């Protein structure tokens, strides 16, 4: 089994970035919702710094994706949705009252899929429109598309 999780990923002293298929990073968008994919900042913005937290569920999976921002909000989505929600209602959000536990499926030594252990939906980046530096991040049916692959990147 390949391990892609950085050795210090569970330490708030060693946050990392998550980079999507287009080179954008998972970003907490100035500390408000929704979570987005955005071009990497040059100053190592805290909005794009993440750590993992073990849930204590036992067995593989169940990690929380936690922001390094004060209050340590987690990446999640709203479970109180209609039975067949559309993509806009499945946007990745953050907050201290929301919880999504991820199974991290390593593809190689730096890349992984983040799959919600309850719904089996994957954290998915959308392609940015031409000329845009941001794009939505949603939870979608896991199909192993490139948009569902995230790379761990150490901070500069």
How far is residue 141's CA from residue 122's CA, in Å, rounded to a whole number? 6
Let me know: does 38 contact 28? Beta carbons within 8 Å: no
Consecutive 10-residue runs of the chain (156 residues): their mean pLDDT? 78 90 91 86 86 70 82 76 59 76 92 90 94 92 95 86
Q: Which residues contact 126 (CB under 8 A, 6 or more apart)?
A: 37, 135, 136, 137, 138, 147
Residue 82 pLDDT: 53
Residue 76 pLDDT: 84
How far is residue 102's CA from residue 86's CA, in Å, rounded to a whole number? 21
Residue 61 pLDDT: 66
How far is residue 97's CA from residue 94's CA, in Å, rounded to a whole number? 8
Domains by residue range for the chain, with CATH? 16-154 (2.80.10.50)
Residue 93 pLDDT: 85
């Amino acid at each position: 089994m390949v391990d892609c999780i950085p050795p210090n990923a569970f330490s708030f002293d060693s946050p990392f970035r998550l980079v999507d298929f287009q080179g954008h990073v998972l970003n907490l968008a100035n500390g408000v919702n929704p979570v987005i994919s955005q071009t990497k900042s040059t100053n190592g913005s805290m909005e794009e710094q993440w750590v993992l937290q073990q849930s204590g569920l036992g067995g593989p999976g169940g990690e929380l994706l936690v922001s390094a921002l004060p209050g340590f909000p987690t990446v999640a989505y709203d479970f109180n949705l209609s039975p067949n929600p559309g993509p806009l209602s499945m946007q990745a959000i953050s907050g201290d009252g929301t919880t999504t536990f991820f199974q991290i499926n390593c593809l190689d030594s730096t890349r992984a899929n983040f799959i919600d252990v309850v719904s089996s939906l994957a954290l998915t980046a959308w392609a940015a429109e031409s000329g845009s530096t941001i794009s939505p991040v949603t939870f979608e049916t896991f199909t192993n598309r490139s948009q569902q692959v995230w790379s761990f990147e150490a901070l500069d």
